[in-house]
Chain A
């Protein structure tokens, strides 16, 4: 039966949704941090001349970009339990938890995309910049640290902003493996009150605010990164695209 839109119910469930929001932010942050830490070295290796290094990384990113994140999550959450060795291992208390499985799955997924972003930014560092560095007698590591990475960082920033938004939105999938993030909490409240419309629209608005709030923050950072450039070139508007 339809009882109209129950705003009081939305108000009463805000504390629970707030708890869910904290989990959503935790999932996103952990995934982002692990993603950056892994993607930068992997991206450098992927862009390197050594086939033995770049090849396997390409295979990894190809497979993880070619399959749905949901299946990757299920493979880790449900799949690993098939093996008795996993169930008796020290890691089992972690791998049993939906939350940690989600962090692992999201990280593996985002690293695949971010590695390619980093690698393509590195390949696009202007040759003259490298030559200038070499002419000054920089060693290869110094060149990487002082020239390649800083220059690449600027060009990869818009694509990375996009990736972060994808992570944020994808964390809603964690609700499908018992995690009580924003979406998971909404589903719990709905199971109790049967008011799907109010709750789902409410969290939709929260995600919308989070998404554009994050884009705004990243645009500020980007302006700083580009502050040496002319104003028109600085702070290119972030435009959400498919990754």
Chain B
């Protein structure tokens, strides 16, 4: 390897960071799917308060940069917990929020708002005739949901969710701001001791690119699987 890419033995830290980034992204994706589904069902429900709550959630979250939301939750959450601790335990208390938890939650909340829109669109794309057919067969609303609406909506949600996962993978880099030693943070930490900041960030970006490129290929396969049995125009 040419000298400009010699990371002086720090290279393995990038791989460790990449592994943590992947775990943050996977954990956040679970939150995203749960919040997204809940948000979409609330938005499509007959209850007005639920609809308003869901609309408020997606509107507010999508209007604020994720970095700022991360800082609000991390520092604001610290203050909030501190107050609670002081109320319960008395005296001055020191609280440290777990960075992994904070990062995962914030990414989950932010992209959950986008997922809610993806799921909402997917549910609306389910042809009316399909649910009517199920109802006319005497299926109860719950059964119609599980057997007809949900599986059909999932197919329409695949492209949006795939895109969301790609965005989420890249967005894990902002959790470096709250001290989580994921890929971006590791690169930031070793740029000085290696004396090769360009090589450090370049190799880090190759790792991100590998993750997004692989995910993109996987997305195509899942799309093909989800579209099996669908007529192509």
Please indicate the chain B residues that have their CB under 8 angstroms from the CB of A74 in the complex.
184, 187-188, 191, 197, 201
6 contacts between A and B (CB under 8 A): A2-B83, A66-B208, A68-B172, A70-B174, A204-B68, A242-B163
Smallest CB gap from B201: residue in A = A75
Which of B72-80, B97-105, B135-143, B220-228 lies at the binding interface?
Answer: B72-80
Partner of A172, one of B63, B67, B164, B209: B67
Smallest CB gap from B171: residue in A = A68
Q: Which of B178-213 contact A (CB under 8 A)?
A: 184, 187-188, 191, 195-202, 204-205, 208-209, 212-213
Q: Which of B107-128 contact A (CB under 8 A)?
A: 111, 114, 117
Chain A contact residues: helix, strand, loop or mixed? helix
Q: Which of B56-70 contact A (CB under 8 A)?
A: 59-60, 62-69
**B184 near A70: Cβ-Cβ < 8 Å:** yes
**A176 near B209: Cβ-Cβ < 8 Å:** no
Please indicate the chain B residues that have their CB under 8 angstroms from the CB of A241 in the complex.
114, 117
Smallest CB gap from A71: residue in B = B205
Please indicate the chain B residues that have their CB under 8 angstroms from the CB of A1 in the complex.
92
Please indicate the chain B residues that have their CB under 8 angstroms from the CB of A242 in the complex.
111, 114, 160, 163-164, 167
**B69 near A66: Cβ-Cβ < 8 Å:** no
**B114 near A79: Cβ-Cβ < 8 Å:** no
**A72 near B117: Cβ-Cβ < 8 Å:** no
Residue among B66, B170, B172, B198 facing the most chain A CB atoms (10 A cut-off):
B198
Chain B contact residues: helix, strand, loop or mixed? helix
Q: Which B residues contact A (CB, under 8 angstroms)?
A: 4, 59-60, 62-69, 71-72, 75-76, 78-79, 82-83, 86, 92, 111, 114, 117, 160, 163-164, 166-167, 170-174, 176-177, 184, 187-188, 191, 195-202, 204-205, 208-209, 212-213, 216
Please indicate the chain A residues that have their CB under 8 angstroms from the CB of B196 in the complex.
82
Please indicate the chain B residues that have their CB under 8 angstroms from the CB of A79 in the complex.
197-198, 200-202
**A71 near B114: Cβ-Cβ < 8 Å:** no
Please indicate the chain B residues that have their CB under 8 angstroms from the CB of A203 in the complex.
68
Please indicate the chain A residues that have their CB under 8 angstroms from the CB of B170 in the complex.
66-69
Which of A50-58, A94-102, A193-201 lies at the binding interface?
Answer: A193-201
Q: How many A-B residue pairs have CB under 8 A?
A: 130
**A204 near B64: Cβ-Cβ < 8 Å:** yes
**A67 near B205: Cβ-Cβ < 8 Å:** yes
Residues of A in contact, count (CB < 8 Å) = 41
Smallest CB gap from A197: residue in B = B76
Partner of A239, one of B117, B164, B174, B201: B117
Partner of B65, one of A83, A170, A190, A201: A170
Partner of B199, one of A63, A82, A170, A183: A82
- Complex Cα distance, B110 from A240, in Å, reads 12
Partner of B202, one of A75, A172, A183, A197: A75
Q: Which of A107-160 contact B (CB under 8 A)?
A: none
- Complex Cα distance, B65 from A175, in Å, reads 12
- Complex Cα distance, B82 from A197, in Å, reads 13
Closest approach, in angstroms, between the C-beta of B55 and any C-beta of chain A?
Answer: 12
Partner of B63, one of A67, A176, A212: A212
Please indicate the chain A residues that have their CB under 8 angstroms from the CB of B63 in the complex.
207-208, 211-212, 240
Please indicate the chain B residues that have their CB under 8 angstroms from the CB of A80 in the complex.
198
**B184 near A68: Cβ-Cβ < 8 Å:** yes
**B64 near A208: Cβ-Cβ < 8 Å:** yes
- Complex Cα distance, B195 from A241, in Å, reads 39
- Complex Cα distance, B46 from A210, in Å, reads 32
Known A-B contacts A67-B208, A200-B72; A78 and B67 likewise in contact (beta carbons under 8 Å): no
